[in-house]
Amino acid sequence: MVSKKYNLFILLIGLLVTPYVEADGYPCKKYKFDFNQEVVPGNIIISWSINTGLNRCGEFQKEDITKHSYVIVVSNLQGDVLLSDTIAQNWFAFNVLENEALAHVRVAELNGDEYIDTLLKRKHITLFELDTKIDSIIFYLTNGLILNALYQLHSLNLQYLRDSLIQEFTLLFPEHYPHNQDFFNCYLDPESLLLKKMLYTRNLTGFSKSLNKGTKTLTKKPEDIYINIISRNDHSTTRVEVFPKELTSLVLSSLTLLEFDHTENQEGLTTLLITRKKNGRFYYVKNSRALTNPNSPGFQKKFPYTGPIH
């Protein structure tokens, strides 16, 4: 009788030497969507690339994607077609309506067999009123609403940033990342109009405990709190924005517990996405993965998933 350990060994060898067959339940695909599919109402851009991951179908060059036209179909769950078109590029724009909970997206090679499909998922999030389009892009990016951010970047002729977005997104969320992708670790710098990583931040747990203590007596607690902090490498804070604004004084006292890593930047942004736990009683920093240095002690234990094969 063959042992379970031997079967597992054979399975692992098979995955390593035959990377183009179906593995771990992920069927072979030539293409993959570039980002997560969570959106809020408004204009978005959906893009895709040659799949170079575990479930790739072969070794395709990046330039291969420009050799095809694509048939795109977006429909609601009732089967009504919301958009149908044939395009000669690997992205398209679409408007997510306020009353559309979910939408099915299918992208197929024209006169070919290759296709990919996905569901757009409407995200329920508090959309705060922000001053500028740059502020809106930063909000979309840090909340993981990459498709909404992409449209705004295109409208400012900053579409060249998509490759940088893909690279950073892939590093933050390894292939087939099993948990929520409702945050991101980069923002659009208003001066250079380039992507910058947010500052790594320490003592997020101490901050959360202090915030929960301070909000304990509030009779009406907001579901989400959005905090932007601009700080310098001399440990001074040049600007703090808190939404809802009425919580500013309460939040400021807890912010003194945070420590920012200015190793690479003289000045930088930290965005804290605060939300309530499932029990509704306590707040926590949901984008702590994006704010934690991956080389720091304890990161691997707290965020163990690093990809499907190692």
Q: Per-residue pLDDT tens for 190-221? A: 999 999 999 999 999 999 999 999 999 888 88
Largest CA distance in the chain: 69
In the predicted model, what is the mean pLDDT of the chain?
86
What does the pLDDT average to over 57-69?
82
Candidates 221, 202, 193, 177; CA nearest to 272 is 202
Candidates 58, 41, 38; CA nearest to 184 is 38
Can you list the alpha helix ranges (DSSP code H) found in 109-247?
133-142, 146-155, 162-172, 204-214
Would you state the structure tokens that stand for residue 22, as one six-digit string?
């179906």
- The angle at the Cα of 69, spanning 68 to 72, to the nearest 5 degrees, equals 135
Q: Please, which pLDDT band fits residue 307 given cuts at 50, 70 and 90?
A: confident
- Asked if residue 245 has pLDDT above 60, the reply is yes
- Asked if residue 26 has pLDDT above 70, the reply is no
**For the ranges 2-16, 60-74, 106-120, 135-149, which has the lowest average pLDDT?**
2-16
Sheet of 42-50: strand order equals 31-33, 42-50, 91-96
- Asked if residue 12 has pLDDT above 80, the reply is no
In the prediction, which pLDDT does 156 show? 95
User: CA-to-CA distance for 295 and 309, rounded, in angstroms?
Assistant: 20
**For the ranges 19-28, 72-81, 289-298, which has the lowest average pLDDT?**
19-28
Would you state the structure tokens that stand for residue 178, as one six-digit string?
């099993």
User: CA-to-CA distance for 146 and 130, rounded, in angstroms?
Assistant: 17
In the prediction, which pLDDT does 225 show? 94
User: CA-to-CA distance for 209 and 122, rounded, in angstroms?
Assistant: 31
What does the pLDDT average to over 5-29?
46
- Asked if residue 10 has pLDDT above 50, the reply is no
In the prediction, which pLDDT does 126 show? 78
3-state SS assignment for residue 51 = coil
- Asked if residue 13 has pLDDT above 90, the reply is no
Note the pTM of the prediction, 2 decimals.
Answer: 0.86
Number of H helices and E strands in the chain, helices first, is: 8, 16
Rg of the chain over all Cα atoms, to the nearest angstrom: 22
In the prediction, which pLDDT does 25 show? 54
Q: Please, which pLDDT band fits residue 18 given cuts at 50, 70 and 90?
A: very low
Q: Please, which pLDDT band fits residue 99 given cuts at 50, 70 and 90?
A: confident
**For the ranges 21-30, 168-177, 249-258, 281-290, which has the lowest average pLDDT?**
21-30
- Asked if residue 15 has pLDDT above 50, the reply is no
Please tell me what DSSP assigns to residue 23: B
User: CA-to-CA distance for 145 and 141, rounded, in angstroms?
Assistant: 6
Phi, psi angle pair for 15, to nearest 5° = -70, -35
In the prediction, which pLDDT does 309 show? 59
Strand 115-122 with 38-39, pairing: parallel
In the prediction, which pLDDT does 6 show? 40
What does the pLDDT average to over 294-299?
90
User: CA-to-CA distance for 112 and 114, rounded, in angstroms?
Assistant: 6
Would you state the structure tokens that stand for residue 285, as one six-digit string?
């920093």
User: CA-to-CA distance for 37 and 162, rounded, in angstroms?
Assistant: 15
